[in-house]
Amino acid sequence: MDFCRPLCWVEHMSLDNETGLDPSGIRVRPVSGLVAADYFAPGYFVWAVLIANLANIGYEEKNMYMAAYDWRLSFQNTEVRDQTLSRIKSNIELMVATNGGKKAVIIPHSMGVLYFLHFMKWVEAPAPMGGGGGPDWCAKHIKAVMNIGGPFLGVPKAVAGLFSAEAKDVAVARAITPGFLDHDLFPHQTLQHLMRMTRTWDSTMSMIPKGGDTIWGGLDWSPEECHSPSRKRQIANDTQIANENGSEVVVSQIKHVNYGRVISFGKDVVDAPSSEIERIDFRDAFKGQSVANSTCSEVWTEYHEMGYGGIKAVAEFKAYTAGLIIDLLHFVAPKMMARGDAHFSYGIAENLDNPEYQHYKYWSNPLETTLPTAPDMEIYSLYGVGLPTERAYVYKLTSAECGIPFQIDTSADDEDSCLKDGVYSVDGDETVPVLSAGFMCAKGWRGKTRFNPSGIRTYIREYDHSPPANLLEGRGTLSGNHVDIMGNFALIEDIIRVAAGATGEDLGGNQVYSDIFKWSEKINLQL
């Protein structure tokens, strides 16, 4: 298996479409140890810079553990197949016991943030569903959780990936060089191969936006409306957050944007008042005959089973908010979502004491679970800002008989509303919007709330993106990019100080450049 034989690679990286586990005769496993994620490729660091800096203050393999896991699997299935959650529990217990009882500092990145959120519920839940550690396990073993680039509430980018196997970069590449995706990498039908593979990865469904319209907005509103990520900067600390008159804010008001319409079919739909959009409900539409003919059988996707009727019904509904995205994905990918429904949930809990929320499918959704009872623990949201980040999409219907029937419409542009190449952008780290990375620490968990009953202290530390001044500066020294931030000097300093014993107050509390507190106030969530 190698990159010279991409279809072989796809076959080995795919999971079983029914079970979400190993296909027959294929076993792919994560590498263990610190080498599991120090470099993605020679010269391209991920954790290497941080590991080296931790080593400089005395950390080594006996008190530093890389919790590698198979990121393709649903979180609970990593325990079913590999006992990964049990291994993390044992390693943390061993490190705490052999280091004089000093509690662990946990540093998850990206999807690992959701994975560790799941772990904190799993480790205290009774066996056999949980790890049986008891209700005070986290309080005894964890000093701080320093989440880097955490997609706590999901990412719109995941919707585009599951819906059409593309995001902004793929859509632009296809527009600039038609045919590139069909010839340069795979012999034919590149995106169908990618869709077939990624739709077997149950973990991708953990990234679907959570909280529905309450968090992400409806047809006519969104928390971030009227702000351009490239035209505003705000410096705020705890004192200034409490007294907004003391903060320095420079904001350019721009055209109203309906970010709440995560998917719109046609630029005219994006701009139209909701009262003028004629929508035909797709949910009971007849899916009709297969659109696939004999030449399409090489690559199976669930779109082949929808028929022209089902495809047309999706486009005729015209506008989809975050709440409706769940129904849309159930309609276009029922087999995938049937597996996903067993492992993930995307709502907001009305009553967290309801016994149903003891099931593992809720544990990675911060709106349907509670933080552990650990009042001395700290939780950080560390993430980049100042980069355009995908938030909503303009789609079009395609006529390709064998292709994926929906594409991002790269002809849709509007400089005044952050619309470029069919993609609406907001402030973030190019992958996770500020709203997803920051809301829980800004409001959902801030103080004692029903999601944070013991009042764990939360801190937001934002890092304003600056590109390298020259080639010698290094990839991430001042970067806010989702991956390059792992080499950001300011982020590394914050982590090193906490790993050496500092608290959030020692760091100076919150460090905020975005409008996350203002946006959070617009979200009407029962706390």
Any idea which residues carry the catalytic annotation? 110, 429, 482
Tally of residues, the chain = 527
Q: Identify the residue whose tokens are 């996707």.
A: 301
CA distance 20 to 396: 31
User: To 10 degrees, what angle do helices 156-164 and 322-332 make?
Assistant: 20
Beta strands in 283-386 (DSSP E): 319-320, 378-385
- Who contacts 111 (Cβ-Cβ below 8 Å, separation ≥6)? 71, 151, 203, 206, 207
- Closest CA relative to residue 368, chosen from 383, 382, 380, 354: 354
> Is the distance from CB of 186 to CB of 7 less than 8 angstroms?
yes
For 455, how many CA atoms within 13 A lie in the half-sphere containing its CB? 2
For 203, how many CA atoms within 13 A lie in the half-sphere containing its CB? 21
Radius of gyration of the chain (CA): 23
User: Virtual CA dihedral for 313, 315, 321, 326, nearest 10 degrees?
Assistant: 50
> Is the distance from CB of 101 to CB of 339 less than 8 angstroms?
no
- Closest CA relative to residue 513, chosen from 251, 254, 260, 258: 251
Beta strands in 471-514 (DSSP E): none
Backbone angles phi, psi at 174, to 5 degrees: -70, -40
> Is the distance from CB of 101 to CB of 140 less than 8 angstroms?
no
- Closest CA relative to residue 288, chosen from 314, 304, 308: 308
Q: What is the DSSP string of 24-76?
A: TT-------SGGGSSEEETTEESSHHHHHHHHHTT--TTT-------TTS-HH
